[in-house]
Amino acid sequence: MVFDDNVQLVTRCPFCSAEYDLDGAQVIGEENDATMVYITCSECASSIIAIVAMSGLGIVSLGLVTDMTVEDTKRFNKEKALTGDELLEVYELLEKQKHKALKQLTKSQK
Ligand SMILES: [Zn+2]
């Protein structure tokens, strides 16, 4: 993955605000222009899945807090392939309906 310098990635842990060591980020899925990355905080060991996607407006990224292990995410990824469109859908859901997003996401994960 090569990113432009002005691209704003998820760089801080949402729990403890520690800066992520992105060298330790693991790419768990790539689809079209979207890349899913698993990052574990070296300070508090909490994990997020970050999605980086190309959209019409440029590169967008978002982080989802997860308690899955990287093995879980890989297994999950294999079972149901995500498309770039789906990743963008999640992004838009989080952007526009932050309050509903969690409910919707947890509902659809059954
Ligand atoms: Zn942390």
- Tens-of-pLDDT digits for all 110 residues of the chain? 455 554 456 778 888 999 888 777 888 888 888 888 898 998 999 888 888 887 777 777 777 788 878 877 777 666 655 677 777 777 777 777 666 666 666 665 44
Separation of CA 70 and ligand 1 centre (Å): 16
Q: Is residue 8 part of a domain?
A: no
Judged by DSSP in three states, 104 sits in: helix
Q: Is residue 71 part of a domain?
A: yes
Q: Is residue 36 part of a domain?
A: yes
Residue showing tokens 């890349």:
35
Domain with 49 in it: 22-108
Q: Is residue 85 part of a domain?
A: yes
Q: Is residue 1 part of a domain?
A: no
Separation of CA 44 and ligand 1 centre (Å): 4
Judged by DSSP in three states, 102 sits in: helix
Could you give the angle at the alpha carbon of 17 between the alpha carbons of 1 and 9, nearest 5°? 25
- Provide the CA 13 distance to its chain's centre, in angstroms: 13
Separation of CA 51 and ligand 1 centre (Å): 18
Separation of CA 47 and ligand 1 centre (Å): 8
